[in-house]
Structure 1
Amino acid sequence: MSFKSPFPDVEIPNLSVYDFLFGRVDPADAERPALIDGASGAVTTYQTLVAQIGGVAGALAARGLAVGEVVALHSPNVPAFAAVFHGILRAGGVATTINALYTAEDIAKQLTDSHAKFLFTVSPLLPQARAAAVTVGIPAENVIVLDGADGHPSLADLLTEGHPAPEVSFDPATHLAVLPYSSGTTGRPKGVMLTHRNLVANVCQINPRMGIGADDKLLAVLPFFHIYGMTVLLNAALYNRAALVTMPKFDLVEFLSIVSAQRCTYVFIAPPVAVALAKHPLVDDYDLSSVHSIFSGAAPLDQELGRAVATRLGCRVRQGYGMSEMSPVSHAIPFDRDDIALDSVGPTIANMECKLVDPATGQEVAYPAEGVSAPGELWCKGPNIMAGYLGNDEATAETLDADGYLHTGDIATVDAEGVVTIVDRMKELIKYKGYQVPPAELEALLLTHPQIADAAVIGVLDDEGEEVPKAFVVAQPGAKDLDEAAVIAFVAARVSPHKKVRRVEFIDLVPKSAAGKILRKDLRTRETAGK
């Protein structure tokens, strides 16, 4: 039996993301800070941001960007990210955001798959961005370096050209806004096609649950290139006329300094940050009394850890759940609900319907009249669900069914009050510090090593409770000098930092089904038994 959100439906306007967020900026909000550079304190007001968005849109249109064409954005969290991201959308383009940690090879793959025409980056990331652009044939004049670099236009160049934003027309319900890349429930990264309506809907759906106000200062350390940061921080904060304080990367001392100096009120994190906030002695050296709420996402937050953070900082702690394929949020513990257990992900958000399905039988799990349901795979549908995977009908059909339900690959329960708890994972994807690590990608790489006969990768918990990639390796007969350090170094030299193998175990045989599929559950059993 399916179950709907316990909250009433919210109205979702039929608007583009730009018109939804900036179609009308009240004069009283024009001089409010929209973005604050955490390092320098430099302020970008809402009035300035809207002007910059128009300037970027005009410059792209003048350079030949057509409605529906893709522009890549490869940048950490800096204030200019917002102007470029929304400038792309304002011009009718599609933004594909690229992980700032990616190697040149990773970037080239995404540029190729998305058919990007332009690439925005920053000077510290230019070597790998330029190499990727050369590989895929994007000319230097179409590689825009936000802070400037010889041989490339800068953001200042685009803005001083003075081109007006183009007049564009499209259907927000079907026109793509963004193409983040996700591994879904398994496999290699795929372009997630999210429409303007998807993004607008998710802001409308989560807004009553988050409690973000115009007087809030949100610390933006979670990357904007990730769908969590893109929707929950960038778009939701701007919609509420709050201020975003940007941090390009996490550093504990800088994090604490900025929260204290800027008097941040609302902090969005992933669980590894919670560990530091709960345990690190440095936290006591800073005044964090301005923080009223911490919201955790991207990976499961342990209940005791969350409580420890709440107690130490004297604030409320909440968590939610989602996927890139859901724009991303489907569940969240409301800011005003202290009665909901922190080991849950809260109720289903407005305008969504879910069901639990027994993966063994395919039968729907009954909704409980009281207590908690039996576990089942969580299926979700609503206006925030993706249009599909770019150029991959097979993967789309495996994830999105004919009735519009997205099969999440996570096992959950629901109680009689509609509160959902994630209890296990069907999908093979590893979540390292909130970043997706597809085991198949690492396995394919490991098999290129001449001394490795076979390999399998699963996620295991480290001493801090963080999921990390562990490789089970079968060595070739007579292999020499192949030890844990050699395997780790081999992978590290060829992947982005978050994809590194952190642990290695040598085994005689990788367990596989008759069809040749790796039996990861057997490896997990082995891992558990070994502890």
Structure 2
Amino acid sequence: MSFHSPFPDVEIPSTSIYEFLFGSLTDAELELPAFVDGPSGAVTTYGELIAHINGVAGALAARGIEPGDVVALHSPNVPAFGSVFHGILRAGATATTINALYTADDIAKQLEDSKAKFLFTVSPLLPQAKAGAEQAGLAAESIVVLDGSEGYASLRDLLTELAPTPRVTIDPEEHLAVLPYSSGTTGRPKGVMLTHRNLVANVCQASEALGGGQHRILSVLPFFHIYGMTVLLNIALRNRSTLVTMPRFDLMEFLRITSEHKCTQVFIAPPIAVALAKHPAVDQFDLSSVELVFSGAAPLDANLGQAVAQRLNCQVRQGYGMSEMSPVSHLIPVNRDDVALDSVGFTVPNMECKLVDPGTGEEIQVPESGVSEPGELWCKGPNIMRGYLGNAEATAETLVEDGYLRTGDIATVSSDGVVSIVDRLKELIKYKGYQVPPAELEALLLTHPQIADAAVIGVIDDEGEEVPKAFVVRQAESGLTEQEVIDFVAEKVSPHKKVRAVEFLDAVPKSAAGKILRKDLRARESASA
């Protein structure tokens, strides 16, 4: 039995993302600040942003980039990211954004797979970008270093050429706008084909629930990740907000920039929530301007979220999505204080979902009261990808009957439409036939005052049984022991969910978007076995 968003459908214009975001700019709005560089305070107005976007588009066209070509963007969060990203799309090209943490081999693979003809990067990332480009056969003249480096064109060089902006006509429903790379439900990264309509749709679907209006938004979550690309970059620009950029996360800089620039909305992943709830440095800064802390990319524990809300005296919300859904499919609206914070809220407008029993393939019924049985979450709507680039097999595994996308996540739905993510289908630990969700144990561990961070995976014990093992980061100067961790969990969970082993780490490995890299923990476990 499928269920829809409880909210009415929204109108989705049939237009390019550029026209949708910037086509209605007024003369007064051109003077508003679009970006503020957090470290330096330098301001880029909307008028300057439009000029830069058009300049980048013209320079690319002058270099032979045509509609349908792929251009790579490899950069941390700096104001120039917005100019180049939308300049690529303005030229009718497709932007493939590359993780700023990627190695040369990773970069080469994405350049080769996407068939990128051009690469933008920054000088701190140039060594790996150059090596990756060389592996992929991309010539030096096809590389632009935004902030300049000898032997390469800079963004300033492109803008001072004053090349005319190309006239481009596209079909928003068919024309690929972006090609982010995602591992999907499993396997190596794959190019996610998202059209202009996909991006426009998701801005329309998610914007109102996030409060709408103009805000000063701290932008530390990477723009190269779909969360930052849509929820920060595109929604903020549509609302004429100001994006205050940070190229990397540093807690003291995060707090300073938020305080000095009086940011009103802060978008984070759960690891930052841990710091906001527990780190003593938070009390040294005036964060009274913050109205909303919004978490995504990984599950946020309700107790942790409430601790942040109380400490900062602000609203805390979370949402859910995937690159394959542009990405937002569910979120807790800012005006719904009654929705449990450990849920991901409601399905966004224009979407339909269902839960499917992963064992039987049968649909799970939405209950008349209470909460449903858990099942794999399937979603469909105008924000769903076209498929994976050049990978028909993976596309067929993910995009299934009637246009539904299999998320690979286990969820429940309440009678009033509130969705909660239980765990990843591939990450459930099977102990003596019982399913143990790692996220549940991780949330519990984070409630311990001496635990700064934690992750849980399944490992094989001496009897050949898969058991939960916790990787724990202790608070500074804590003497917490393995047995104390085991006893803490055992007092609060069913017997089959007990943590059976503990290892202490300096840091839990995570992606740039804040997701726990369980594969790294499994590799560590295999190496020590």
Q: Is the 2:180–2:323 Cα contact (8 Å) retained in structure 1?
A: yes
Q: What secondary structure sits across from 1:82 in the alignment?
A: helix
1:501 aligned residue: 520
> Which residue of structure 2 aligns with residue 79 of structure 1?
79
The corresponding residue for 1:192 is 192
- The one-letter code matched in structure 1 to 2:455 is E
Shift of 1:402: 3.2
Letter paired with 1:191: G
What is the match of residue 381 of structure 1? 380
Q: Report if aligned partners of 1:306, 1:342 keep a CA contact under 8 Å in 2.
A: yes
Aligned residue type for 1:157: D
The reply on whether 1:288 has 2:292 as its aligned counterpart is: no
Query: 1:259-306 CA deviation, whole Å, 9 max, x = no partner?
Result: 000000000000000000000000000000000000000000000000
In the alignment, does 2:372 pair up with 1:353?
no
Alignment correspondent of 2:500: none
The CA distance in 2 between the partners of 1:507 and 1:249, in whole Å, is 30
Q: Is the 2:220–2:248 Cα contact (8 Å) retained in structure 1?
A: yes
Deviations 1:197-245 (A, max 9, x none): 000000000011000322x100000000000000000000000000000
Letter of the 1:391 counterpart? G
Show the counterpart of 2:56.
Answer: 56
Q: 1:83 to 1:506 in 2, by over 3 A?
A: closer
Q: Which runs of 5+ in 1 are unaligned?
A: 431-457, 475-487, 510-531
C-alpha deviations, 1:73-122, integer Å up to 9, x for none?
Answer: 00000000000000000000000000000000000000000000000000
In 2, the alpha carbon distance for the partners of 1:342 and 1:286 equals 26
- Structure 2 residue aligned with 1:513: none
429 and 104 in structure 1: CA distance in 2 versus 1, 3 angstrom threshold: farther
Counterpart residue number, 2:25: 25
Q: Find the residue that maps to 2:401 and give its secondary structure.
A: coil
Deviation at 1:40, TM superposition (A): 0.7
Matched, 1:467 2:466: no
Once the two structures are TM-superposed, the CA of residue 464 in structure 1 deviates from its matched residue by 4.0
Alignment RMSD, CA only?
A: 2.4
Query: What is the DSSP-based 3-state SS (H/G/I as helix, E as strand, rest coil) of the residue aligned with 2:337?
Result: coil
Whether the 8 Å CA contact 1:212–1:242 is kept in 2: the answer is no
Amino acid at match of 1:233: L
Give the structure 1 partner of residue 394 of structure 2: 395
User: What is the TM-score when the length of structure 2 is the normalising length?
Assistant: 0.84
CA distance in 1, matches of 2:428, 2:328: 18
Preserved CA contact (<8 Å) 1:55 1:163: yes
Please tell me whether the aligned partners of residues 472 and 505 of structure 1 are also in contact (alpha carbons under 8 angstroms).
no
- 1:505 is displaced (CA, Å) by 3.5
For residue 429 of structure 1, report the CA deviation from its aligned partner: 11
2:131 is matched with which residue? Answer: 131
1:383, 1:507 → 2: CA distance? 44
Q: How far, CA to CA, are the matches of 1:172 and 1:246 in structure 2? A: 29
Instruction: Give the direction of change, closer, same or farther, for the CA distance of 1:145–1:15 in structure 2 (3 Å limit).
Output: same
Return the alpha-carbon distance in structure 2 between the equivalents of residues 275 and 392 of structure 1.
38
CA contact (8 A) 1:293 1:317 kept: yes
Q: Residue 467 of structure 1 aligns to a residue in which SS?
A: strand
Kindly state the Cα deviation for residue 469 of structure 1 after the two structures are TM-superposed.
7.5
CA 1:507–1:110: 2 relative to 1, 3 Å = closer
Residues 472, 506 of structure 1: 8 Å contact kept: no
Matching of residue 165 in structure 1 with residue 165 in structure 2? yes
Q: Is 2:433 the partner of 1:414?
A: no
Structure-2 change in CA distance of 1:71 and 1:7 (3 Å)? same
Show the 5 A alignment for 1:4-15.
Answer: 4-15=4-15
How far off is 1:170 after superposition? 1.1
User: What are the ranges of 5 or more consecutive residues in structure 2 without an aligned counterpart?
Assistant: 430-437, 446-450, 463-504
Which secondary structure does the structure 2 equivalent of 1:51 belong to?
helix
d(CA) in 1 for partners of 2:403, 2:318: 26
Whether 2:178 is the aligned partner of 1:178: answer yes
Taking a change above 3 Å as real, the CA distance of residues 57 and 370 of structure 1, as seen in their structure-2 partners, is same
Does the C-alpha gap of structure 1 residues 299 and 429 become closer, same or farther in structure 2, counting only changes over 3 Å? farther
In 2, Cα distance between equivalents of 1:348 and 1:467: 28
Contact residue 358 and residue 376 of structure 2 kept, 8 A: yes
Look up the equivalent residue of 2:185 and give its one-letter code.
Answer: T
Q: Distance in 1 between matches of 2:460 and 2:54?
A: 52
In 1, the alpha carbon distance for the partners of 2:146 and 2:422 equals: 43
1:267-286 mapped onto 2 (5 Å cutoff): 267-286=266-285
Q: Does 1:321 align with 2:340?
A: no
Q: Secondary structure at the match of 2:403?
A: coil
For the 8 Å contact 1:121–1:144, the answer to whether it is kept is yes
Q: Which residue of the partner structure matches residue 250 of structure 2?
A: 251
Deviations 1:118-171 (A, max 9, x none): 000000000000001111111111100000001110000000000111001110
Displacement, 1:425?
1.6
Partner SS state of residue 324, structure 2: helix
- 1: CA distance, partners of 2:457 / 2:358: 25
1:518 corresponding residue in structure 2: none
Do the aligned partners of 1:10 and 1:204 also contact (CA within 8 Å) in 2?
Answer: yes
**Structure 1 equivalent of residue 201 of structure 2:** 201
Q: Do 1:472 and 1:507's aligned partners in 2 also have CA atoms closer than 8 Å?
A: no
Q: Report if aligned partners of 2:274, 2:453 keep a CA contact under 8 Å in 1.
A: no
Q: 1:166 to 1:335 in 2, by over 3 A?
A: same
Structure 1 residue runs of 4 or more that deviate by more than 6 Å after TM superposition:
468-474
| Corresponding residue for residue 512 of structure 1 | none
Partner of 1:27: helix, strand, or coil?
A: coil
- 1:16·1:172 contact (CA, 8 Å) conserved in 2? yes
- Contact residue 409 and residue 427 of structure 1 kept, 8 A: yes
Measure how far apart 1:501 and its partner are.
3.0
What is aligned with 1:40?
40
Tell me how far apart the structure 1 counterparts of residues 525 and 257 of structure 2 sit (CA, whole Å): 41
Which SS does the other structure have where 1:386 is aligned? coil
Identity %: 69
Structure 1: how far apart are the matches of 2:259 and 2:401?
Answer: 50
Which amino acid in structure 2 is aligned with residue 374 of structure 1? Answer: E
Q: SS state of the match for residue 235, structure 2?
A: helix
Report the Cα offset of residue 367 of structure 1: 1.1
Q: Which amino acid aligns with 1:105?
A: D
Shift of 1:466: 4.0
Is the CA contact 1:357–1:378 (under 8 Å) kept in the aligned structure 2?
Answer: yes
Structure 2 partner of 1:450: none
CA distance in 2, matches of 1:79, 1:508: 43
Paired residues of 2:117 and 2:142 also in contact (CA < 8 A): yes
Please tell me whether the aligned partners of residues 470 and 502 of structure 1 are also in contact (alpha carbons under 8 angstroms).
no
Number of aligned pairs?
A: 463
1:467 Cα deviation from its structure 2 partner: 3.5
Asked if 1:96 is matched to 2:96, the reply is: yes
Using the alignment, how far apart are the partners of 2:58 and 2:305 within structure 1? Answer: 45
Whole-angstrom distance in 2 between the partners of 1:197 and 1:464: 41
Distance 1:429 1:330, change over 3 A: farther
SS class of match (2:153): coil
- TM-score of the aligned structures, taking structure 1 as reference length: 0.84
- The answer on whether the counterparts of 1:352 and 1:381 sit within 8 Å (CA) in structure 2 is yes
Query: How much has 1:471 moved relative to structure 2?
Result: 8.2
Deviation for aligned residue 1:24:
2.3
Q: Does 1:16 align with 2:22?
A: no
